[in-house]
């Protein structure tokens, strides 16, 4: 029998009560910076909603017109608690994980998609890496708000190379029904002015599809680098939607964490963009 991965950081990174969570999500979307793009992939931050929620919402707001179109989300985030050498799934069918749960309900996992990447040597199974990992979980309420019925392929990323991540993404790429989401914050615990300088350099690298980011630039550097490789191969066009830090949202300026949201658009949709 498949298991349910329960919410681990509800009540900490975001409200545990459904009504309070919905209200906070509305506030995040109200504070988001509007844009009109049709993304194939997003890079969005994963801090507590009070800090990075509006920045993340700038990416997720783009999905509202695609509510019924996107049916599968491939979600990659860096590990913070349990290290893995490559990319880790929470389990494999038929005895793995059936769904991830949040206060807004359950998100079913795409069992066929999970099985399709199980043969890669860089893909392992690590329930421990997923059990308390926030970098994936915090995105689910946003996705549950803007999408209708969708399934999830959650990948906790440790020491994977850009090529290893790209290989997995390429197999899961799909068509218009599939969205790629990479979870990452930017610089950590720098003074405000220095953080703005460092994060601007990182944003420029992402806009140039640089696949050589390091952890000091972005905690999700490994999955970002893999996405950059595939994006370059497939001609995706990156857009910066928002860039701020905790000193701009809910913290002081002495030690801040950087956040940014990016949308990567397939060339045919970029050309159609007004």
Binning pLDDT at 50, 70 and 90, where does residue 2 land?
A: confident
pLDDT in tens, 190-221: 999 999 999 999 999 999 999 999 999 999 99
227 vs 204: CA distance, rounded Å: 15
CB 155 within 8 A of CB 212: no
Q: What percent of the chain has pLDDT over 70?
A: 98
Please give the C-alpha separations between residue 182 and each of 46, 48, 169, 233, in angstroms, as whole numbers. 10, 16, 11, 17
CATH assignment, 3-272: 3.40.830.10
Q: What is the pLDDT of residues 85-95, one digit of tens each?
A: 999 999 998 88
What's the rounded mean pLDDT across residues 135-144? 98
Which pLDDT value is given to residue 274?
Answer: 45
Is the pLDDT confidence value at 230 over 50?
yes
Q: How much of the chain, in percent, has pLDDT values that exceed 90?
A: 94
What is the pTM for the complete model shown?
0.97
Taken as a whole, the chain contains a residue count of 274
pLDDT mean over 108-116: 98
Q: Ramachandran region of residue 6, left (φ > 0), alpha (ψ -120 to 50) or beta?
A: beta
Q: Which helix (H) or strand (E) holds 143?
A: helix 140-146
C-alpha to C-alpha distance for 47 and 53, rounded to whole angstroms: 8
What's the pLDDT score for residue 186? 98
């Amino acid at each position: 029998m498949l298991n349910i991965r329960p919410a681990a950081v509800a009540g900490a990174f975001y409200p545990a009560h459904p009504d309070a969570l919905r209200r906070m999500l509305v506030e995040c979307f109200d504070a988001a910076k509007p844009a009109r793009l049709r993304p194939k992939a997003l890079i969005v931050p994963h801090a507590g909603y009070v800090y990075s929620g509006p920045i993340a919402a700038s990416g997720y707001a783009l999905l509202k017109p695609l509510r019924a179109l996107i049916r599968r989300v491939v979600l990659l985030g860096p590990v913070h608690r349990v290290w893995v050498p490559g990319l880790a799934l929470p389990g494999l069918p038929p005895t793995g994980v059936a769904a991830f749960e949040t206060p807004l309900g359950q998100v079913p996992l795409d069992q066929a998609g999970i099985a399709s990447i199980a043969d890669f040597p860089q893909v392992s199974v690590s329930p421990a890496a997923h059990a308390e990992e926030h970098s994936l979980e915090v995105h689910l309420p946003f996705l549950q708000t803007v999408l209708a019925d969708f399934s999830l392929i959650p990948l906790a990323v440790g020491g994977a190379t850009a090529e290893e991540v790209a290989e997995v993404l390429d197999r899961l790429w799909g068509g218009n029904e599939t969205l790629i989401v990479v979870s990452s914050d930017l610089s950590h615990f720098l003074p405000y002015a220095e953080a703005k300088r460092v994060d601007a350099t990182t944003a420029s690298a992402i806009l140039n599809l640089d696949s050589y980011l390091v952890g000091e630039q972005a905690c999700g550097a490994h999955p970002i680098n893999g996405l950059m490789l595939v994006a370059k191969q497939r001609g995706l066009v990156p857009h910066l939607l928002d860039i701020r830090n905790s000193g701009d949202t809910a913290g002081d300026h002495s030690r801040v964490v950087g956040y940014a949201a990016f949308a990567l658009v397939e060339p045919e949709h970029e050309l159609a963009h007004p």
